[in-house]
């Protein structure tokens, strides 16, 4: 198949799937999601992503009755039906179906599982990317991977309009993350990344980058850093499940980084080896 979608046990092509109008996702964005790449039909860091969606759901009082292994089985069955060596896998759990009402206690049918899989290439890890910055005006629960993504949508649109690839958020001078990825910098051979508090999503790629740094003997500092420090860093890169490690060469029209390729390349190349070991490519 070229793609496949799933909603509470029903499957079909993405373009033909129908969902109830009263699913709380439609009115309130009342749900959480996760996503990863499947390489050679093997989902990258599958357990990490499954654990994160269950944690996100718990943080907004959604109790997913389905065991984690069952969710993995359903997603893998969808992956196995789609053609291609590189696939994007998306799934979300919403609070369920019920007449529109802000309070959710007893108002919904129980959680709904949505998912889809389609062919999608990963970003070029050998490219050099351009970014813009924007004030981070999102809410204070960015550690929860909710489907309320309008601020991120707008921020990424502004990047596209500027001919750039990603938007880097900051709250005042503190850099937080990007519109759909984490951002990191290298200074004097040390990786600097924002701490996992409520202002950033605990990225799965971020987690594995930190593991790689420990294995490679690259020091890591998980502390807030400023826009000024980012602009003056030896290297800047962003990461996500589909971007992995994307080197940044320009922010707000000004050249940045590109001064410590050796350290960045150690991280990039080690991550590529990790993907090959995990997924056979």
What pLDDT shows up at residue 280? 83
The answer on 272 and 145 residing in a single domain is: yes
The total of structural domains in the chain comes to 2
Please state, in angstroms and rounded to a whole number, the distance separating the CA atoms of residues 176 and 181: 10
> First CA to last CA across the chain, in angstroms?
22
CATH of the domain at 96: 3.30.470.10
What is the arithmetic mean of pLDDT over 18-40? 96
Is 90 exceeded by the pLDDT of residue 108? no
**35 with 147: CB under 8 angstroms?**
no
Is 70 exceeded by the pLDDT of residue 150? yes
**Confidence band, pLDDT 50/70/90 cuts, at residue 281:** low
Last residue of a domain, one of 78, 94, 119: 119
**248 with 257: CB under 8 angstroms?**
yes
**95 with 30: CB under 8 angstroms?**
yes
Q: What pLDDT digit, counting tens, does each position of 171-198 carry? A: 999 999 999 999 999 999 999 999 999 9
Is 80 exceeded by the pLDDT of residue 121? yes
**37 with 44: CB under 8 angstroms?**
yes
Last residue of a domain, one of 77, 95, 119: 119
Percent of the chain whose pLDDT exceeds 70? 99
What is the arithmetic mean of pLDDT over 63-81? 97
**Confidence band, pLDDT 50/70/90 cuts, at residue 153:** very high
Query: Catalytic residue positions?
Result: 33, 145, 177, 201
What pLDDT shows up at residue 106? 73
What pLDDT shows up at residue 105? 83
pTM of the model: 0.96
Closest listed residue to residue 172, CA positions, set 224, 232, 231, 240: 224
Is 70 exceeded by the pLDDT of residue 277? yes
The answer on 271 and 134 residing in a single domain is: yes
Per-chain mean pLDDT for the chain: 96
Give percent helix, percent strand, percent coil of the chain, each to the nearest 5.
30, 30, 40
CATH of the domain at 229: 3.20.10.10
Last residue of a domain, one of 119, 138, 167: 119
CA distances from 201 to 27, 99, 257 (A): 24, 31, 24
Percent of the chain whose pLDDT exceeds 90? 97
The answer on 69 and 27 residing in a single domain is: yes
User: Domain range spanning residue 139?
Assistant: 128-279
Identify the sign of the CA torsion 133, 248, 158, 121. negative
What pLDDT shows up at residue 148? 94
Angle, alpha carbons 50-54-58 (nearest 5°): 170
């Amino acid at each position: 198949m070229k793609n496949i979608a799933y909603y509470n046990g029903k499957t079909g092509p993405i373009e033909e799937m129908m969902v109830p109008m009263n699913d709380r996702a439609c009115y309130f964005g009342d749900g959480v999601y996760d996503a990863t790449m499947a390489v050679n039909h093997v989902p990258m860091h599958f357990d990490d992503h499954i654990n994160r969606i269950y944690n996100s759901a718990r943080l907004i009082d959604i109790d997913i009755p389905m065991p984690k292994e069952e969710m993995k089985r359903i997603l893998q069955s969808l992956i196995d039906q789609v053609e291609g060596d590189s696939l994007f896998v998306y799934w979300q759990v919403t609070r369920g179906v019920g007449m529109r009402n802000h309070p959710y206690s007893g108002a919904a049918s129980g959680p709904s599982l949505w998912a889809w899989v389609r062919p999608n290439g990963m970003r070029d890890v050998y490219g050099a990317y351009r970014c813009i910055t924007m004030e981070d005006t999102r809410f204070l629960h960015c550690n929860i991977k909710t489907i309320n993504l309008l601020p991120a949508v707008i921020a990424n649109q502004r990047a596209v309009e500027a001919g750039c690839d990603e938007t880097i958020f900051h709250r005042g001078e503190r850099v937080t993350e990007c519109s759909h990825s984490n951002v990191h910098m290298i200074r004097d051979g040390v990786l600097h990344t924002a701490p996992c508090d409520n202002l950033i999503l605990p990225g799965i790629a971020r987690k594995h980058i930190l593991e790689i740094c420990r294995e490679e003997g690259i020091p890591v500092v998980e502390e807030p850093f400023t826009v000024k420090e980012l602009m003056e860093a030896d290297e800047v890169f962003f990461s996500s499940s589909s971007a992995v490690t994307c080197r940044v060469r320009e922010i707000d029209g000004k050249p940045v980084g590109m001064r410590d390729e050796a350290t960045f390349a150690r991280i990039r190349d080690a991550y590529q080896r990790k993907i090959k070991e995990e997924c056979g490519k």
